[in-house]
Amino acid sequence: MKNIESKLKEKRVFKPSEEFVHQANLNSRTLDKLIKKYKTDSSLFWKELAVNEITWIKKFTSVCTGRSPFFKWFEDGTLNISANCLDRHIETDKKDKIAIKHVSEDNQINSLSYNELFSKVNSFSSGLKNLGLKKQDRVIIYMPTIPESITAMLSCARLGLIHSVVFAGFSSESLKDRINDCSAKVVITVDSFKRGGKFIQAKETVDRALAMGCPSIQHCIVYKNSSEEINFDESRDIWWDKIIDTNDKIITPEEMMAEDLLFILYTSGSTGKPKGIIHSSAGYLLNCLLTNKWVFDLKDDDIFWCTADIGWITGHSYVVYGPLALGSTILIYDGAPTYPDGDRFWKIIDENQVTVFYTAPTAIRTLMKLGDELPKRHKLDSLRLLGTVGEPINPEAWIWYHKTIGKENCPIVDTWWQTETGANMIAPLPGIYPIIPGTCTKPLPGIEIGVVDSEGNEVKDTKQGGNLVIKKPWPSMLRGIWGDEERYIKTYWEKYDNRFYITGDTARKDKDGNVWIMGRSDDVVNVSGHRLGTMEIESALVSHKYVAESAVVSFPHDIKGEAIHSFVVLRDNFKSYAGKQFADELREWVKIKIGSIAKPDRISFSTNLPKTRSGKIMRRLLRNVARGEEISGDTSTLENENILNQLKDIH
Ligand code: WTA
Q: What DSSP assignment string belongs to 228-249?
A: ------TTTEEEHHHHS--S-P
Give the Cα separation of 627 and 396 in Å (integer).
Answer: 21
Q: Check pLDDT > 90 for residue 522.
A: no
pLDDT of residue 440: 96
pLDDT of residue 636: 66
Alpha helices in 377-463 (DSSP H): 395-400
Q: What is the pTM of this model?
A: 0.92
Mean pLDDT lowest among 62-66, 510-514, 594-598, 644-648:
644-648
Report which ligand 1 atom has the smallest distance to the Cα of 529.
23
Q: Check pLDDT > 50 for residue 6.
A: no
Give the Cα separation of 425 and 448 in Å (integer).
Answer: 9
Q: Phi and psi of 142, rounded to 5°?
A: -120, 80
State in Å: Cα 561 to ligand 1 middle.
Answer: 12
Asked if 31 and 445 touch (Cβ cutoff 8 Å), the reply is yes
As assigned by CATH, the class of the 13-80+280-521 domain is alpha beta
pLDDT of residue 519: 83
Give the Cα separation of 101 and 109 in Å (integer).
Answer: 7
State in Å: Cα 277 to ligand 1 middle.
Answer: 15
User: Crossing angle, helix 172-182 and helix 580-593, to 10 degrees?
Assistant: 30
pLDDT digits (tens, 9 = 90+) for 342-370: 999 999 999 999 999 999 999 998 999 89
Residue 549: CB atoms within 10 A of its CB come to 17
Asked if 597 and 169 touch (Cβ cutoff 8 Å), the reply is yes
pLDDT of residue 637: 65
Domain coordinates of the chain in residue numbers?
A: 13-80+280-521, 544-646
| Mean pLDDT on 474-494 | 97
State in Å: Cα 85 to ligand 1 middle.
Answer: 26
Q: Give me the count of residues in the chain.
A: 651
Ligand 1, residues 287, 307, 319, 389: which to mutate, most atoms within 8 A of Cβ?
389
State in Å: Cα 317 to ligand 1 middle.
Answer: 14
pLDDT digits (tens, 9 = 90+) for 44-75: 999 999 999 999 999 999 999 999 999 999 99
Report which ligand 1 atom has the smallest distance to the Cα of 503.
21
| Mean pLDDT on 421-440 | 96
Q: Identify the H or E element spanning 580.
A: helix 580-593
Q: Check pLDDT > 60 for residue 106.
A: yes
| Mean pLDDT on 512-523 | 89
What distances in angstroms separate CA 128 from CA 49, 125, 454, one per listed residue? 33, 5, 49
Q: Identify the H or E element spanning 284.
A: helix 282-294
pLDDT digits (tens, 9 = 90+) for 552-565: 999 999 999 999 99
Q: Check pLDDT > 80 for residue 621.
A: yes
Residues with C-beta less than 6 Å from any ligand 1 atom: 267, 312-314, 389-392, 414-419, 440, 503-505, 517, 520, 526, 531
Q: Check pLDDT > 70 for residue 529.
A: yes
pLDDT digits (tens, 9 = 90+) for 584-618: 999 999 999 999 999 999 999 998 888 877 677 88
pLDDT digits (tens, 9 = 90+) for 263-272: 999 998 777 7
Alpha helices in 594-631 (DSSP H): 619-626
Q: Whose CA is nearest to atom 6 of ligand 1?
A: 418
Asked if 352 and 303 touch (Cβ cutoff 8 Å), the reply is yes
State in Å: Cα 138 to ligand 1 middle.
Answer: 26
Mean of the per-residue pLDDT values for the chain? 94
Query: For residue 120, what is the DSSP state?
Result: H
pLDDT digits (tens, 9 = 90+) for 174-231: 999 999 999 999 999 999 999 999 999 999 999 999 999 999 999 999 999 999 899 9
pLDDT of residue 613: 72
Q: Residue 7: which pLDDT band, with cuts at 50, 70 and 90?
A: very low
**Torsion sign across C-alpha atoms 528, 531, 534, 537:** negative
In terms of Cα–Cα distance, which of 191, 194, 188 is closest to 244?
188
Asked if 171 and 140 touch (Cβ cutoff 8 Å), the reply is no
Q: Residue 634: which pLDDT band, with cuts at 50, 70 and 90?
A: low
Residue 193 β-bridge partners: 200
**Residue 36: helix, strand or coil by DSSP?**
helix
Mean pLDDT lowest among 321-330, 479-488, 608-617:
608-617
Query: For residue 320, what is the DSSP state?
Result: I
Q: What is the CATH number of domain 544-646?
A: 3.30.300.30
What distances in angstroms separate CA 56 from CA 61, 258, 261, 471, one per listed residue? 12, 9, 16, 28
State in Å: Cα 580 to ligand 1 middle.
Answer: 33
Question: In the 3-class helix/strand/coil scheme, how is 39-60 assigned residue by residue?
Answer: HHCHHHHHHHHHHHHCCCCECC
Report which ligand 1 atom has the smallest distance to the Cα of 530.
20
